[in-house]
Amino acid sequence: MSRLVKVATVQPPIPKGEKGGVVTNKEMVRRGLTLLESAGKEKVDITCLPEIFNVLGLSLEESLKKASNPELLCLKISRIAREYRMYIVYPTLEKRKEEFYISANIIDREGKIAGKYDKAHLTRAEKRNYGATPGNNYPVFKTNFGKIGVMICYDCYFSEVARILTLNGAEIIFYPSLQRHFSEVYFEIQTRARALDHSVYIVRSSYGVEESHLWFPGMILGRSCIIDRDGTIIADLGHK
C-alpha cells in the first residue's frame, strides 16, 4: 500500500572530547533539541537523533552518572514529540537495574516510550568503558504509518541485522551512529548495500563539525542521510 511519510534526520555538532568537537555536551543537546523542534514545525512524521545523544562529549564518570538518571532529557524529548505529534527515535546510554545498555527509545506521537531496542553488536571500547550489555533481539515497531526497525552503529557491519528486521516487516530502518576512523567509500558501500540488498529505506543520523572547522578522516563522519530502497542517497547532510 502506498503511503506518504515524512521523515527527518538531524545532525547536531560534535561535542568536545571527540576530534573536531568544540561545543559542550549541554550545547550539543540544546542544538539537537532545536533541530527536533524544526522538524516538528515541518510536520515530520518521525525524526532520528544520533547514537548516545544524552552522553556524547561527557567524561566516563559523567556519562555513567547521566545514564543512571535519564529522566529529564527524555521528558524534554517527549514534550516535543507530543507537541508536534511526531515519533522520535531517541538513542541513549542508559542504566536499567544494574546494567548499562546502548539503546534507542521509540517515542510515539503522544510522547510515550512505545518501544526500545538495545544495541546487539557492541565494540570493545563500549564493553570496556561502559560495561555495556548487548541486546539479544531485533524488535520491529508498529507505527500508524507502517513498521520500523533500528540498528545502531556497529550493527550495520553485520548484514544479518537488516535482513532480520526486513524479514520481520520493517519498511524503514533507522540507523543512529557515531562512526569514526573509516573512509567515506566504506561508509557508502556498506550503508547503501543494506538498503539495496533488503529493499528497505535507511535513515542515518550522526554528528557533524561546525561550519567554521574542517572535517578530516578520523573524526566522526557526519553524513546523516536518507537512502532509498534502491540504494540511492536522496538526502545527505555531509560533514558539517
Which pLDDT value is given to residue 69?
86
CB 188 within 8 A of CB 221: no
Q: Which residue has the cell 548499562?
A: 100
Is the confidence at residue 147, as pLDDT, over 70?
A: yes
Taking all residues of the chain, what is their mean pLDDT, rounded to a whole number?
Answer: 96
Q: Which CATH class is domain 7-236?
A: alpha beta
Q: Please, where are the H alpha helices in the chain? A: 25-41, 60-67, 71-84, 124-130, 159-167, 184-198
Banded pLDDT at 180 (limits 50, 70, 90)? confident
Q: What percent of the chain has pLDDT over 70?
A: 100
The pLDDT score that the predictor gives to residue 71 is 83
Q: Are the beta carbons of 122 and 132 closer than 8 angstroms? A: yes
User: In Å, what is the CA distance from 91 to each residue of 5, 88, 119, 174, 185?
Assistant: 21, 10, 10, 11, 26
Rounded CA-CA distance 80/109 in Å is 9
What pLDDT is stored for residue 182 in this prediction?
Answer: 80
Give the model's pLDDT for residue 70: 76
Global pTM reads: 0.96
Q: Which residues pair with 94 in a beta bridge?
A: 101
Q: DSSP secondary structure string, 75-96?
A: HHHHHHHHHHT-EEEEEEEEEE
Is the predicted pLDDT of residue 37 greater than 90, yes or no? yes
pLDDT in tens, 95-114: 999 999 999 999 999 999 99
- Is the model's pLDDT at 212 over the cut of 80? yes
82: pLDDT confidence band, cut at 50, 70 and 90? very high
Given a cut of 80, whether residue 1 has pLDDT beyond it is: no
Structure confidence at residue 57 (pLDDT): 96
Query: Is it the case that residue 47 has pLDDT exceeding 80?
Result: yes
Average pLDDT over residues 49-63: 97
The residues facing 142 across adjacent strands are: 147
Cα distances (Å, whole numbers) of residue 40 to 83, 111, 209: 8, 13, 24
With cut-offs at 50, 70 and 90, classify the pLDDT of residue 232.
very high
